[in-house]
A and B are shown apart, each in its own frame.
Chain A
């Protein structure tokens, strides 16, 4: 079983839709949770960074962490074609980072 599970997609939505991206994990020692956006042939860009269970909002993005269920989500409101990319979840334990396989998102105009 992988440490971090993430549906690879692809996920295709119309412009303006609310997008929900999710990851599950098995290691209860994970303390920090991140979401990265990666455009094709570019390095990942940090979008959201959370520590505790609950919600964190930044503009159109909301990160949600449920430690009891070992489940994290990223919500994108009013999705735009420029949001089309691969989204990676990441988790940290004792300075080692674990990445999901990434979900490819396509927002259609």
Chain B
């Protein structure tokens, strides 16, 4: 099966610092990656869609200057939470879609806690 690796799994940081989360497709090329945010006992909320080599498409209400997404290669996308604040504390999950395949595979998620 397809494997998506996400790091770190957990990060605790001080308010005002920036945090980078990596998402890698280990055994396939992913032309499209998605970033989600999940609050406790709630479903996935799509933040942005990332295509290799082009700018990410952000969902309405998601600040692009706060959540920087870079999809530099077919196997790597990064999400940087800039100047993090306590309200940014959440569970962030990436997913990747194989080229010419409709299935979506998820990373293991990153729990961000901003103090």
Contact = CB atoms under 8 A, between A and B. Distances in A.
Interface string B71-115: 000000000000000000001010101000011111111010000
Contacts of B102: 32, 49, 92
Given A100-B43, A102-B43, A90 B109 contact: no
Interface of B: 1, 4, 6, 32, 34, 41-44, 46, 91, 93, 95, 97, 102-109, 111
Given A34-B103, A46-B104, A95-B32, A41 B44 contact: no
B104 A90 contact: yes
Interface of chain B: mostly helix, strand, loop or mixed: strand
A: interface residue count bin: 20 to 34
Given A32-B102, A41-B91, A88 B43 contact: yes
A43 B34 contact: no
